[in-house]
Each structure stands twice: as C-alpha cells, then as structure tokens.
Structure 1
C-alpha cells in the first residue's frame, strides 16, 4: 500500500511537513518514490498568482529544447527556482541535470482570450512538452498551471527531500499533497507517481482500481485531449473528478455518486433518487472497484477524502480551525498537528465525503444518503 498525506492551512507550510508525516508512516510505503503537489503558494510565487508555472525534470539538452519551444510560443520567464544539487545523488535516487520550477508571462497574442481557452491552451502545451519528453527522454513535465508546483522523484521521500533541499523559504504553500509510493509495477515511471493533476484538479489514491479498463475507455471516448497517459490505474480518479467538475458542472457531493453509486434499493428512498438513477445509468462505466482511499483538491482549494464501498484502505481527517490534515494513518496527523483535539478525528466510511473548504474553518461530512445541494 502507498501512504498519503495532505494539509490545508491558513499559514503557509513547508513541504517537509508532509514529508515528515510520510516518514512516520514509512512502514506503509517502500521508498520507491515520492510525489508532491502544492498550490495556494506563498513566498515569491504569490507575486505571480495568475502566471503559469512549469514543473518538471530536464536534461541540459531538454532544457534547451524547452527554452526554444516556449520562446517560439511567446512565453517569457518571470521567475524561476534553481535547485543546486550535490554532484552525486544518494543511493536509490537517479542523477538528474535540472529540476525546474519556472513562472512565465503569457504571450501578448493571448490577450483577450476567454479563461476556458487559456485553460485549454495551457493543458495542450503541457501535453506537447510531455510528448516531446517521451520522444527524446530529455524532459518529464508534471504541470503547467498557475499557482501549482509539482515535484516527483524515485527514492525514499525523506532522502529525496533532503537531497533537493525542499525545506527552503521559496517553497511554501497553504495546500500540500504528498504520496509515499509503494511500487506495484515492474518499472518505476514518474508519470505513475501520485498525485495526478489536470487543469487545477489533483488527486492521489491508496489502493487499486480493478475497473480501470472500462473507466479509461469511457474517458478516452469523451474526445477530451487531456484524458491520456494512464501509467497508473489511479490516474482515472483525477480525470473522473475533472469530468464531473468541468464537463457535468457538479460539485464535490456528486463525486461519490459517480464512482460508488448507491444500490437501487437505496435510490428508491433517496430524495434525488430519480436523478441519481439517471446519472448511475449514463455514467455506469465510471464506477470503481477498489479498495481505494482518495484524497483530492479542487480549483477553489477545497480538499476532500472519500473511500470506496470496500473501505479497506486507511484514512483519517483531523486538525483545528485554520489547519486540517488528511492522512493514511493517525501517526501522520500526530506528526503534523500534534496539538489538535484528537477526539474529533474522523475516519470516513464508504458513504462519506469529508470536505475542508478554502476557509479552513471546519471539516464537513456529507453522506450519499443526504439530499443533493443542487438545483435539479
């Protein structure tokens, strides 16, 4: 099993907060990789809230390819973080040339574009860069989006964090997601490392999704260019959330109804039963088969946790007003927020969606049996 930890805080946190929580849960991951997602960024990045930030790993040749490509598109650098590395990486961590985090100015030709068109173009640039990297092996691109930084690497999470010097003042965020990876593939692929991201939406999962193939086929049939990749069976959770949010226009309360719809007998007495039965029928190929614990973040910085029907992967939510954490194990919460009221820790069950909004005041628990907060 992998181990997951996420934190949402009024005060900016170092990614080491999440890495330390993973480290105390290290019996649950094998040290084969770590993934970080950060948003609601602090420090120098706050000055560039609307500017797209590119995160990835490059060879020196790949960096030249990137610079040429971005210059041709009309992007100019506004700010970058250079990570200076020791000559020799620690055991288990590959030697890399450049870990890049760079904020760009939009091309002048983009002025006047709708936000939807800007979002589409940013995604397409990321996909093009990713393909260039797959063709040449000179770049791995994780994200290209405003107010988002992603870092992924092979190796033990704490070892990687110390090697990259992640406890630096330039890396602070109010929302952080981190995964300590349990390798279930024959070869380790950085694109298979959680969290996964698309257009402001990120998720990470502890578990396995044996319904992966029909879900992937359904998503690929939507004709949306961003529904590709799938080096991990868990990436579909991110794309289902994106489909729900952007294509169907639903809030987080609908996510569970897509991935784990209620039984027909339960729909008979549900206040929105007729509508939910229609959704269950039309989106039946999005139903997952676990066990899975999913933690995710929406574009408005809402954080949530859900479990599938089997409820065989651990997950707990706890904290205090202004700071909440979602963790695979209680010891992860203890490491990050030791002064919380532990009697209020909550472990979501299969009907629950645990949500902390961007105001970070409280944990709200919504159950699938409750009426939908929608105008149907």
Structure 2
C-alpha cells in the first residue's frame, strides 16, 4: 500500500506541513517515491499571476536544460520567473539531477486568439513534446506538468527528507491545496512518472491500492486517440485519465465519476430516478470499470477536491476538518496531524456508494451517494 495526504485551505500554507503529516503514516511507504502537487500558489519572492502557465519537472543534464530552453523559445513562451529550489544535494538519493524546474512562463503571443479549450490543448501538447524529447535522449528530461497555478515535484526518497532537500520548509512556496503521496513500489520499477499524483489538463488524482483492470482500461483509453492518454508507468494513472474523460470530454458533473468507475448493479439502477441514463453511461463506459481495492483522491482546476472508494473498501481514507480547512488522508492520524483542532466527531469515512466533494469555498463537505439524483439535465 501507499499513503496519501491532501490538505485544502482558504489561506495558503506550507507543503512541508503536509509532509510532516506523512510522517505519522510512514509505515505505509518505502521511500521509493514522493509526489507533490500544489494549487493556489503564493511565492515569497515573486508576485504570481495565476493565469501564467508553470512548468514543473527535472533537467537531469545541462544539455537537457538547453534543449528545454530551445523548445520553449521556439514555441513562443517567454520566461517570467525561474524558481531556484534550496537544494541540499547530499540528501538526494539520485545524483543525476542538474536542475529541478519550476518556471513561470508567459503564453505565446500567437495563442491570444485561441479559445480556452485550444489553449489548454496546446499546453498539453507542449508538455508532451518535452516529455517525448526527454525520452528520446535517455530520459534526461522529465516534464510533470505545464499548467497555470500548478506546481509538481517528484523524487525518490522519504517524504520529509525530500521536503528538506528541496527547501520546502523555508516558506518560499505556499499553496491552498497540497496533494502528497508516499509510494510503496509493489508493481513496477522506480520511475518518476510512476509516482502519484498524476496530472492531465488541470485534473489530478492519487491512489492507494491496485487496479487489476488496468490493462483493459489502458487499452480503451489509448484507443480514444487522445494525445494525453499515454504513459501508464503505474496502473493508477488511469484514474486521472478517467476523471479527465468524465469531466473534460463528457463534461459531466464530478459526482458522475463514481458511476463510471464503480457503477450500480442492475437491480439498483432499476430503482434509481435516473436509472436509464446511468445504465446507458455504464454500458458506454463499461471498459472503465475498475477492480480495486482503491481509494482515490482528486483535485480539479477550480480547486474542488474529492475522495472516492471502490466497493471492496480495503484501502481506507478519512476526511475531516472545519470551514475553510479540510484534510484527507489514508489514516486518521494523518488528518490529526494536518488539522488537529477540528471536531473529530464530524470526520467521515466514505462507503462504497459515496463521493466526498470539498467545493472551492471550503465551507462544508458535500457527500453524494450513487443513489441520489445527479445535478444534470441530460439525466432527467
């Protein structure tokens, strides 16, 4: 198993506080990888415009960094801010790290006439071009994300050690959302792209568990011929791509995600007020049904957060907090560490039919049941 921790708050906080919370759950990961995703960013030494895309990744060599500069320049990006992590190299297990990349860019002037959807598509294609360039040169360039108001960092090692090694305890970077996953390497070789969270066009997920339906799901997604549905160094990456497919391509509400990955049984659909729609959705997306056990935590571009479980419920997760500040973790002690002054009697552990949603205003939890009516006119 892995361990997951996510905090969302109205006021920016240090990601290091979430890594400290990960220490409470350290028996659940083995140091083979830490992944971080931050949203709602604030920099101590730079006034950030949340519309500007941020590139996150690693240039493993000086040559890789030069190629990155060439690709971004040729695409028309203008560098506005180059964050220098306070790196303590002696604490990093891997020694082929020339530069950890966190760069803010101005979008190409040629994109000014593009629609929002077109800009998002071009950002995705640029990130994929950087990834492909790195893979073509012996994996010397890693590109985790290129998106407004998102920073990602991934590295091999123990969460707290990596946080200290990158200087995340300095307070130079804070955010309103921090997703963190400590990996236990059970299925694949150590690969930074295999470390959660997974990200595509503003959609991010991280998972504790395993997905034995991985191959048919991967095959179905890659069969869509959508350029972003690639990679799959981890069987959990499909959860992010399914969430992207449901919310960005089908344009369905977030609560529908649960109906796609773990649909209701026929006898349950017969009693549901939108049973005909949900039966059609299940049949159309049958290849996306997961086989757990899994707990999935996700975030969306508008800073909505969510938690779902599969029917087996063998990978626990708990959500707790108070208005303006909420946390989700694999273990209750993780929530305790992130928000110790909450009312614990209001903590919630979802059952197999639930989707827990924390809206962007962060005032209260929304708990959707698959037996509830969806807020969607197409399903009426």
TM-score of the two chains, using structure 1 as the length reference: 0.97
Query: How far apart, in 2, do the equivalents of 1:125 and 1:322 lie?
Result: 35
Residue 377 of structure 2 aligns to a residue whose secondary structure is coil
1:238 to 2:247 alignment: no
Matches within 5 A, 1:317-328: 317-328=319-330
1:169 to 2:171 alignment: yes
The equivalent of 1:14 in structure 2 is 14
Q: Structure 2: 5+ residue runs without aligned partners?
A: none
Residue 234 of structure 2 aligns to a residue whose secondary structure is coil
Residue 221 of structure 1: how far off its partner (Å): 1.3
Task: Select the residue among 199, 204, 207 that pairs with 1:205.
Answer: 207
Residue 177 of structure 2 aligns to a residue whose secondary structure is strand
The equivalent of 1:348 in structure 2 is 350
Greater Cα offset, 285-294 or 95-104? 95-104
Contact in 2 for aligned 1:48/1:103 (Cα 8 Å): no
Query: How far apart, in 2, do the equivalents of 1:87 and 1:194 lie?
Result: 23
The equivalent of 1:40 in structure 2 is 40
Residue 370 of structure 1: how far off its partner (Å): 0.7
Residue 48 of structure 1: how far off its partner (Å): 1.9
Matches within 5 A, 1:60-79: 60-79=62-81
Query: How far apart, in 2, do the equivalents of 1:306 and 1:94 lie?
Result: 37
Contact in 2 for aligned 1:45/1:147 (Cα 8 Å): no
The equivalent of 2:104 in structure 1 is 103
Query: How far apart, in 1, do the equivalents of 2:25 and 2:183 lie?
Result: 11
Contact in 2 for aligned 1:94/1:154 (Cα 8 Å): no
Contact in 2 for aligned 1:93/1:160 (Cα 8 Å): no
Residue 42 of structure 1 aligns to a residue whose secondary structure is strand
The equivalent of 1:180 in structure 2 is 182
The equivalent of 1:129 in structure 2 is 130
Contact in 1 for aligned 2:14/2:169 (Cα 8 Å): yes
Matches within 5 A, 1:128-277: 128-136=129-137, 137-277=139-279
Contact in 2 for aligned 1:89/1:95 (Cα 8 Å): no
What are the Cα deviations for residues 48-95 of structure 1, in whole angstroms up to 9, with x where unaligned? Answer: 2111100001021111111111111121111121124335335x4444
Query: How far apart, in 2, do the equivalents of 1:374 and 1:357 lie?
Result: 17
Greater Cα offset, 21-30 or 253-262? 21-30
Query: How far apart, in 2, do the equivalents of 1:182 and 1:87 lie?
Result: 23
Query: How far apart, in 1, do the equivalents of 2:134 and 2:373 lie?
Result: 46
Matches within 5 A, 1:296-311: 296-311=298-313
Query: How far apart, in 1, do the equivalents of 2:34 and 2:306 lie?
Result: 20
What are the Cα deviations for residues 178-212 of structure 1, in whole angstroms up to 9, with x where unaligned? Answer: 00010114520000000000001000000000001
What are the Cα deviations for residues 29-57 of structure 1, in whole angstroms up to 9, with x where unaligned? Answer: 11211000011112356632111100001
Contact in 2 for aligned 1:88/1:95 (Cα 8 Å): no
Query: How far apart, in 1, do the equivalents of 2:322 and 2:299 lie?
Result: 19
The equivalent of 1:57 in structure 2 is 58
RMSD: 1.2
Aligned length: 375
The equivalent of 1:338 in structure 2 is 340
Contact in 1 for aligned 2:42/2:173 (Cα 8 Å): yes
Contact in 1 for aligned 2:188/2:234 (Cα 8 Å): no
Residue 142 of structure 1 aligns to a residue whose secondary structure is strand
TM-score of the two chains, using structure 2 as the length reference: 0.96
CA shift in 2, pair 1:220/1:45, >3 Å: farther
The equivalent of 1:120 in structure 2 is 121
Contact in 1 for aligned 2:260/2:289 (Cα 8 Å): yes
Query: How far apart, in 1, do the equivalents of 2:58 and 2:74 lie?
Result: 21
What are the Cα deviations for residues 315-362 of structure 1, in whole angstroms up to 9, with x where unaligned? Answer: 000001000001100100111110000010000111011110000001
CA shift in 2, pair 1:295/1:125, >3 Å: same
Residue 85 of structure 1 aligns to a residue whose secondary structure is coil
Residue 146 of structure 2 aligns to a residue whose secondary structure is strand
